[in-house]
Amino acid sequence: MRSIWKGAISFGLVNVPVRVYSATQSHDVSLHQVHSTDGGRIRYQRRCEICGKVVKFEDIDKAYDDGNRTVVLTDEDFASLPAEQSREIDVVEFVPDDQIDPLHYDKAYYLEPDEKALKAYSLLRQALEETDRTAIVTFALRQKTRLAALRVRGDVLVLQTLLWQDEVREAEFDVLQGSPKVSPKERDMAAQLVESMAADFDPGEFEDDYQVQLRQLVDAKLEQGDSLDTDATFGEQPEESGGADVVDLMEALKRSVDRRSAAKRGGSSGSDDDADDEKPATRTTRKTAAKKSASAEKKAPAKKTAAKKTAAKKTPAKKTAAKKTSSTRRTAKGA
């Protein structure tokens, strides 16, 4: 990894020099635009609307237009801002871990301490762990003042930028003003379904099906060209069926619980209709297994994709405990 910024954590009179690294990376297959008729690469040019010339990136400045006048701001202008000159990650306060709404979390960075500051770095990390608190900090990066959470992940301090309060939109949906009546039986059945799907979240159990399949498609098309048969590449896809046809909420909950129980037993739910329906709880597992079997020769790209999963995006355990049952793509090993 290559550091993108150097600075120092400042809390009280303690100063901890650190290097900042991006904690995440994209695993998406890189694609570019081409002309559909001849395959020519599409290029975008920065052209001045006054002189008509193509302008190099280094010759481009930014400007603000208030409708009547335009003010050009150069790199020197931005560098003159006091906030831009600061290299401090200033600790403002220490808050309980569970007080930060995960909706506010944005980009994550790893902080590597200077060798001479390892003791102070370790002390701060241990203090955060033992007090179950997160440091709220401010710093300037890439021409912006950032609000961030400084927290612990294993042996490393993670700096996770936070959205400002006015950047988080309120959910204002009139339909939520209604008060539907939920019966005790429905609540009990919903609780049973939740319990049947309970598990400890492990991001390594999930993979980006779309990117794996896209890589498989690219490899197949490189080999076969336009004569590619997608049905032969991916296998015949089953038609979606099942839960969408169930209108009664109680019936849908009951069938869902039955299917989860059947999946755990490794057998059917005991109903001909249920046996014919696609079971949502096990659909992802079976699709993934079939896909991996059909593309055994392409196993290496799939492993590479899985290895690049973004573990740093995982929110603290306390804040994700209530969410760990929300995904229907978990494997059936849990509970």
Name the token pair of 323: 């969410």
Token look-up 């997608």 returns 230
Confidence of residue 63 (pLDDT cuts 50, 70, 90): very high
Summary mean pLDDT of the chain? 79
- Overall average pLDDT of the 276-295 stretch: 43
Domain segments of the chain as ranges: 5-26+81-166, 190-320
Q: State the chain's maximal CA–CA distance in angstroms.
A: 76
Q: Residue 121 is encoded by which pair of tokens?
A: 């770095």
* Identity of residue 269: S
Cα of first residue to Cα of last residue in the chain, in angstroms, is: 38
Lowest mean pLDDT among 15-29, 122-136, 163-177, 283-297: 283-297
Kindly report the pTM of this predicted structure: 0.65
Q: How many CB atoms lie within 10 A of CB 305?
A: 19
CA atoms within a 13 Å half-sphere pointing along the CA-CB vector of 187:
5
The answer, yes or no, to whether residue 228 has pLDDT greater than 90, is: no
- CATH topology for 5-26+81-166 is Ku70; Chain: A; Domain 2 (2.40.290)
DSSP assignment of 24-72 equals ----PPP---B-TTT-PBP----B-TTT--B--GGG--EEEE-SS-EEE
pLDDT of residue 249: 82
pLDDT at 214 over 80: yes
Check residue 245 and give its pLDDT: 56
What angle is formed at CA 328 by the lines to CA 161 and CA 103, rounded to 5 degrees? Answer: 20
Strand partners, 89: 9
CA distance linking residue 258 with residue 240, whole number of Å: 19
